[in-house]
Copies of this chain bind each other. A is one copy, B any other.
Amino acid sequence: MMSWKGWGDPDRAQALSPDMRRLVHDALGVRADGPGVPGLAELQLPGSQLSGQVADRLAAVVGASHVSTESEARIRHLRGKSTPDLLALRLGDLSDSPDAVVWPGSHGEILELLKLCTAERIAVVPFGGGTSVVGGLAPDRTGFRAVVALDLSRLNRLVELDEISRLVILEPGLRGPEAEARLAEHGYTLGHFPQSFEFASIGGFAAARSSGQASAGYGRFDERVVALTVATPTGTVALGQAPKTAAGPDLRQLFLGSEGTLGVITSLTVEIRPVPALRIYEGWRLPDFAAGSAVVRRLIQDGPVPTVLRLSDEVETALNLARPEAVGASGGSGCLLITGWEGPSNQVEETAQATRTVLRNAGAELVEGAGSDWAAGRFAAPYLRDALLDAGALVETLETAGFWSALPALYESVRQALVQTLGRAGTPPVVLCHISHVYRSGASLYFTVACAQTADPLEQWRLAKAAASRAILAAGGSITHHHGIGTEHRAWHHRQLGEQPVAVLRAVKRELDPAGILNPGILV
């Protein structure tokens, strides 16, 4: 079960290494611990606003054991896992807690719940893995009598496997590792491994357009959903008869990325691949970020295309290569490129060999052990954040994407926005970046920012994030590449979309959710 106070499995929480502690002290100038997490029993939760009568009606739909207004359940469904979310909890702000948690067992029950909540003016927050980092689980309660978290963990079946079409129908509450385990019994994989993989849910992958670390080889999750069923307040939507069609606008693309605001995805038909017989991960050092970007672009545009492509900039490389002492120095470590190949053995060997030739021609040198180190730690970074917050550092990530020709300016302007804003606050940051997802026409940029916390770390980050978002819009990047919109990006997203497209989103929302009960304040 996910920790209620930080990331992941509580047993895997890790303390800072002496090296990291030194880094926090020397490079970030941290001098005092940050606010710690109160004990579960100390937390003062506002009273549940859900009336007993309505609770009874919810229980009549899902069964009494599948409704709870108890503190622990409510706290476990409080917000997501962004740094502002974790800081708010540390600062004792529990104002976004749902008034109750409901665990439906079927599509039909969800339809009934949505009808009931529409009639009772109760806001509903679909809850998958709870890993949102953009405020996707903190709705605006204005005008609602209460807020209910709709926990989808009971919808966890592998419904049907179609080996001929290489498709599987999955329910949304399955988490990444559960889905992979069920598929592995039959020799298949989704190949979808975002950093949140161990805790995020299948439904969340679709609703928030997740992108995995092996996206160069397997594609994004949204690209691999061919059909879906959605429970909306006005009825059932089922879309998708074929891999691709010319049958008008692709309405599947309204629900993918809808973040629970248009309906609750209750089943998904997703492409699967055979479990790879061979996986190879390697690390390569390129002279600098420009040279690394050029070779990554060369690979995705002209092939061979590896399964994993991830290029760290100079600062992130220094940390990745376990030399935190080099951070802030004048560099010299170059840039680390992780390349991975997965598939049938002969294909993997061939593609890996062809890739190595391209890399060597671009001046890349193999870094022993860097590939396996990356693979071993690929889901671990968020644990480190909890320890850094304890130690008084502010750590957060943000991401964007743009076309290749716009990427250098996008990179530079976001970096500068973060450095300048946090510098002005008296907390000069370390800013790391990597290219994590590549396409023929462009790529994503994933930034990690670390600095000392000020007395008001929430406001400190709000200003930095706003500066970065302004820089992204000015440089023509997308306000998000794979984190989603939630509440954090909503205003920026609307500014980027323009008036008509926002009006279209609202019109769709009105049609499917006339009372606006689904995730109010999120996305639209």
**Residues of A at under 8 Å CB distance from B?**
162, 164-167, 208-211, 220, 222-223, 226, 232, 234-239, 241-251, 253-259, 262, 271, 274, 297, 301-303, 344, 347, 400-406, 437, 439-444, 476-485, 489, 493, 496-501, 503-505, 507-508, 510-512, 523
In contact, A256 and B249 (Cβ under 8 angstroms):
yes
Q: Is the CB of B209 within 8 A of A246?
A: yes
With contact pairs A165-B441, A507-B510 given, residues A249 and B243 touching in the complex (Cβ less than 8 Å):
no
The minimal Cβ–Cβ distance linking A245 to chain B, given in whole angstroms, is 4
**B residues in contact with A477, CB < 8 Å:** 241-242
A437: chain B residues within 8 A (beta carbon):
244
Out of B243, B271, B403, B507, name the residue touching A242 (CB < 8 Å): B403
CB closest chain-B residue, reference A476: B241
Taking the nearest CB of chain B, how far is it from the CB of A253, in angstroms? 4
The answer to whether A165 and B405 touch (CB under 8 A), given A257-B247, A344-B302, is yes
Q: For A507, what are the chain B residues with a Cβ–Cβ distance below 8 Å?
A: 507-508, 510-511
A11→B485 CA distance, assembly (Å): 56
Known: A253-B250, A405-B162. A241 touches B478 (CB 8 A): yes
Which partner residue on chain B sits nearest A274 by CB separation? B302
**10 shortest interchain CB distances as A-B pairs:** A243-B439, A253-B253, A209-B246, A242-B401, A245-B478, A242-B478, A165-B403, A164-B405, A507-B511, A250-B253
A242, B481: Cβ atoms closer than 8 Å: yes
* Alpha-carbon distance between A375 and B325 when the two chains are bound, in angstroms: 62
Q: Which residues of B contact A162 (CB under 8 A)?
A: 403, 405
Whole-angstrom distance between the Cβ of A167 and the nearest chain B Cβ: 5
Bound complex: CA A496 to CA B162 (Å): 22
Q: Give the distance in Å from the alpha carbon of A515 to the alpha carbon of B71 in the complex.
A: 52
29 contacts between A and B (CB under 8 A): A164-B297, A164-B404, A164-B405, A165-B403, A165-B404, A166-B404, A166-B441, A210-B246, A220-B244, A234-B500, A234-B503, A236-B498, A236-B500, A238-B498, A239-B497, A239-B501, A241-B496, A242-B444, A244-B401, A247-B480, A247-B485, A249-B254, A249-B256, A249-B508, A253-B253, A500-B512, A504-B508, A507-B510, A507-B511
- State whether B220 touches A497 (Cβ < 8 A): no
Q: Are the C-beta atoms of B253 and A496 separated by less than 8 Å?
A: no
Besides A241-B402, A249-B258, A503-B511, 10 other CB < 8 A contacts? A165-B442, A222-B250, A226-B441, A236-B498, A241-B496, A242-B442, A247-B478, A249-B257, A253-B253, A254-B254
**Cβ-closest chain B residue relative to A304:** B347
CB distance from A265 to the nearest CB of B (A): 13
